Structure 1
């Protein structure tokens, strides 16, 4: 039997041990407990089936949306531009386009804005046919080029021509959907196409040694942004914060578990290993609102004006189209907008 002096000596050690054991038991429970206890609310997000929406897929698969009281439905559209149009029609609550549709919205003063960038990507390519005489950039003059008009593909190609000393008026644009680009160039209906994965890979493979390819973005990233109607944002500021909090968790998970994150996206989009190897590194997945997005929007607006794609003559003030309050509330270091 322990003497009283022995008990007094052991008691502090036993207390420390018991507290440590209790902390070990409770830690997983605390870590797994949700930070939100209110009613579950529904959100519908319109998005093209692209890797640039990885943070959304990860948040859905790992239950980060559910942790924040969100029941999220992802509605698939052919392109981000189509998804943004669906947003304007009220078909979805949020959309994930590239930044280019927001420029068009700003020119006609639509009540919409961006709450975050979720990825920056470099995946658009220009593919030409050597046997049709397209062996160098200079050979593009006088040619028929297939691309999806009134999208960011048209901007990238137009700027690519200017940067390479070619007047855009010297080429003929043919409006072709990405799904039709392979057949269009193989059949000779066009001399070159501007396309993106997965379609561009099939096009290059089919043409074989007859294909010549250029990276048409000229090192300017595509910004995968989340857009919303201003009326929705005004009515749901707290919901917007919970959405971004979920995506921030997804970004942290991707950083800690890159292989598992890649597998989630691969399974979700039903992609093979070769495709994932080719495209995964073309994306920078991060939740931000940076001044570089504003610079890109202004650059694209100037191009639309010079290309007579709008009746406006002044670049819009894009500060009114960027809703930074929600992201600043949950991750202030991710916001870098000059006002």
Structure 2
């Protein structure tokens, strides 16, 4: 190389430098690509109440790509209640579903094997009763003798019964009418019922359906809403690796809902302007997190006593609700999130 002219020598150095730079860029691009999910991609059918704020960890895990990063192709199926989601799971239409605690209790009392893999949300002020002022519903006590719409077999019914009990009213002192959650606002507006019990966002829809005539009573003193992810015992226990992947994705999703409230609220793009405003005001009271807490078992037992007392299931004995909670998955992924005594 000593025989090369200085100009040609510099040109060769420039070419070499360019080649090295291109190699460096290629290596950087290769490393910057998201890692391929471990193993084959697995399809998961997930029944979810996509309009309910408690589903935020699921929607975030899906929208932010956390399921995909775990090798899960999550197929979200929309339902208007946890009861409907649970029925889809029990009928084999979905693998897992989002559900409050009441449908799990009723399934257990019917000797159906349903297990909760985690609670993902808790709130105190998302259940309540909306009454028509022009039908004489102005105070909780004035519900006596009224026709009340409710979705039977849900947390809405449990909240209503507990609320009536607090007013020293017997179930026989009101007339219950069964509606799907999305039908309650219309029934209230048409005057088919005098009041309706349910949860958000349906409560907001009901108050707007009878604008100027609505009285609303929240049930935070009688029911703290828990929202869970559950499946059949057969599915959950035969898919331990899948459950761990789902839980890791849900943990990331719950963190997003807790730490990025503005972006998380955008997941509920179909919400009305009034519902969006309500979400913004109420968000600070929501607790997103993936846990299995001893309080869950206590709630399940309390609700089972209510169901047995009201003859909502054939079984008249208390189940062992440790059988309705799958601990192995979360203990493997986030052991500190499990406080169930076992």
TM-score interval for Structure 1 and Structure 2 normalised by the shorter chain: 0.7 to 0.9
Which deviates the most, 217-226 or 161-170?
Answer: 217-226
TM-superposition CA deviations, 1:282-339 (whole Å, max 9, x none):
5321111101111111111011111122233222110011001111111111111012
**Is contact 1:248-1:287 (8 Å) kept?**
yes
Q: Which residue of 1 aligns with 2:73?
A: 71
Determine which of 53, 71, 81 is the counterpart of 2:83. 81
Q: Which residue of 1 aligns with 2:9?
A: none
Distance 1:195 1:230, change over 3 A: closer
RMSD: 2.3
Please, which runs of 5 or more residues in structure 1 have no aligned partner? 1-21
The CA distance in 1 between the partners of 2:262 and 2:186, in whole Å, is 35
Instruction: State whether structure 2 residue 227 is matched by structure 1 residue 185.
Output: no
Distance 1:133 1:53, change over 3 A: same
**Is contact 1:64-1:246 (8 Å) kept?**
yes
Please, which runs of 5 or more residues in structure 2 have no aligned partner? 1-23
Q: Which residue of 2 aligns with 1:168?
A: 171
The CA distance in 1 between the partners of 2:252 and 2:341, in whole Å, is 26
Q: Which residue of 2 aligns with 1:253?
A: 256
Distance 1:206 1:82, change over 3 A: closer
How do 1:125-204 residues align onto structure 2 when only pairs under 5 Å count? 125-204=128-207
Distance 1:255 1:47, change over 3 A: closer
The CA distance in 2 between the partners of 1:202 and 1:208, in whole Å, is 10
Determine which of 276, 284, 288 is the counterpart of 1:285. 288
**Is contact 1:266-1:272 (8 Å) kept?**
no
**Is contact 2:120-2:289 (8 Å) kept?**
yes
Instruction: State whether structure 2 residue 231 is matched by structure 1 residue 216.
Output: no
TM-score (structure 1 length as normaliser): 0.85
Aligned residues: 312
1:88 deviates by 0.7
Instruction: State whether structure 2 residue 312 is matched by structure 1 residue 312.
Output: no
The CA distance in 2 between the partners of 1:294 and 1:35, in whole Å, is 38
Instruction: State whether structure 2 residue 33 is matched by structure 1 residue 37.
Output: no
**Is contact 1:240-1:326 (8 Å) kept?**
yes
Distance 1:298 1:35, change over 3 A: farther
Q: Which residue of 2 aligns with 1:207?
A: 210
1:34 deviates by 3.7
Which deviates the most, 239-248 or 187-196?
Answer: 187-196
The CA distance in 1 between the partners of 2:60 and 2:327, in whole Å, is 23
TM-score (structure 2 length as normaliser): 0.85
1:33 deviates by 4.7
